[in-house]
Amino acid sequence: MSRLAINKRIASIPPSVTLGVTSKAKAMIAAGETVYSFAAGEPDFDTPEHIKVAAVQALTDGQTKYAPVTGLPALRSVISNKLKAENGLDYAPEQVVVSCGAKHSLFNIIMALCDEGEEVIVPTPYWLSYTEMIRVSGASPVLVRAKQENDFKMTPEEFEAAITPNTKAIIFNSPSNPIGIVYTRSEIEKIVEVALRHGVYIIADEIYEKLLYDGAEHVSPGSLSAEAQEMVITVNGFSKAYSMTGWRLGYFAGPQKLVKAVTALQGHSTSSPTTFAQYGAVAALEGPQDCLKEMGIAFAERRNYIYNRVSAIDGVTCVKPGGAFYVLPDISSFGLDSVSFAEQLLAAEGVAVVPGAPFGVDSNVRLSYACSMENIEKGLDGLESFIKNL
């Protein structure tokens, strides 16, 4: 038995189940097995050509050295412009920090903002990395269980009831992973009102802002008023909107004091994200945006198809997603917990889904439809046949 002692906070965190199921499915496919994977929230489209060309050009031009810790000035500037033009947020380029993915931005923010003894409110179901990041910081996640009959949306009353003198922040994710909830403007106004009244910071994870259905509107909590913006930290990235998951580029914008702290942290950990990749990100924001429309049309078609089929299965209930690319059907009527359901489904039908347990809902499983229509059709055949045979 090794005597190696791992740092206590790190030792207690489990590996990411989303990434785990994804790599298991990929390994099975590589080994020649037929697997229909609904695992990763990773768009199947290639990164648009003009973005790749910009990064290749940067490489050719010798942009292969360290960039400033917080990101290329040109990228911080186009991000600041984007936040103003699209989100109604008034952040100077100096208030923007570019990191290695929105995940990295969230990690940095939580490490810099939260302390031992403090609490961070997490509407549940939640994206599984939030709670682990909070625990690593020494703070505690406080789960607010949103009700399925409220379409899994946290009400302002539920939010307020969870606030204590130790509450530092809330993580607010709309459109959401794992369920595609989109909060309306008036719902967001009420949540922001509660946060401001209690001095609670809002970490707004807007990574799915471009993935909206049925004419839904994306509202950035920080855009509601100048007071709101002071209490909001806005997180976004390039992975989902521009199909750039492997580029590892995300960012946040927030109060100068937090920017300073994150800059110091990032300066001692990753330094800046990859320099030539950042030129691709500049092209993503400055270049033509029709790629977003094309991908949006494909996602809307997949969402309608998957929701209609899944919700028609006897014994399954499912909230209709208003955004992102996930459905989270309730499978509890079959008498299996989410991990057993997912494991048995993979073994029996070669269909990979992510169990709901690590998202805080053991009665559900998550299907990502960021995959081809053919994968969706065949995978759903497998899901239906699995359920029929239970």
Q: Which residues bind ligand GLU (CB under 6 A)?
A: 16, 18-19, 40-42, 103, 129, 177, 368
| Binding-site partner at residue 16 among ligand PMP, ligand GLU, none, CB < 5 to 8 Å by type | ligand GLU
x/- letters, 192..231, toward ligand PMP (CB under 6 A): -------------x-x------------------------
384 touches ligand PMP (CB under 6 A)? no
x/- letters, 281..320, toward ligand PMP (CB under 6 A): ----------------------------------------
Give the nearest distance from C-beta 379 to ligand PMP in angstroms. 20
Structure-token match 């002071």, residue found = 230
Stretch binding ligand PMP (CB under 6 A), from 56-64, 81-89, 95-103, 335-343: 95-103
Q: Contacting ligand PMP (CB under 6 A), which of 237, 280, 329, 382?
A: 237
Stretch binding ligand PMP (CB under 6 A), from 98-106, 144-152, 255-263, 281-289: 98-106
| CB of 25 closer than 8 Å to CB of 350 | no
356 touches ligand PMP (CB under 6 A)? no
| CB of 124 closer than 8 Å to CB of 145 | yes
Structure-token match 């399925």, residue found = 148
| CB of 144 closer than 8 Å to CB of 270 | no
CA torsion sign for 21, 26, 27, 33 is: positive
| Helix locations, the chain, DSSP H | 8-11, 17-30, 49-60, 73-87, 102-113, 129-137, 156-162, 185-198, 226-231, 256-267, 275-286, 290-311, 338-349, 373-388
Tell me the C-alpha distance between 163 and 11, whole Å: 28
Give the nearest distance from C-beta 287 to ligand PMP in angstroms. 19
| CB of 139 closer than 8 Å to CB of 115 | yes
Tell me the C-alpha distance between 76 and 311, whole Å: 43
| Binding-site partner at residue 37 among ligand PMP, ligand GLU, none, CB < 5 to 8 Å by type | none
Q: Which residues lie near ligand PMP (CB under 6 A)?
A: 41, 101-103, 127, 173, 177, 205, 207, 237, 239, 245, 250
